Amino acid sequence: MSNHSHLLEAVSLAQAGDWDAAHNIAQDYSDSTANWIHAVLHKVEGDTWNSQYWYAKTGGHQYEEFGPDVAGELVAIQQRLTAAAAQ
């Protein structure tokens, strides 16, 4: 399973509300998309400081970019991963 496949799985798990399983996958990788997932998961958790730490490692995404719309942010990540996998 590729990095993209694992990260898509993490997004799906997060969308299903399985924070722990999604977090376990996201923390296994260190690329900008994995860090973005990691940041969103900590946003969901309510850990603003930790979330902002991970956003700083995303290569340009910000905590405020999607505001409280975590569902929309996860869809954006999913679309990015799907597009990257198609290339």
What pLDDT score was predicted for residue 35? 97
Among all chains, which residue has been given the structure tokens 């376990």?
Answer: 24
Domain ranges of the chain: 3-86
- Check whether 1 has a pLDDT greater than 70: no
The CA distances from residue 28 to 31, 64, 68, 72, in Å, are 10, 25, 25, 23
- Check whether 13 has a pLDDT greater than 60: yes
Give the model confidence (pLDDT) of 15-70 as tens digits. 999 999 999 999 999 999 999 999 999 999 999 999 999 999 999 999 999 999 99
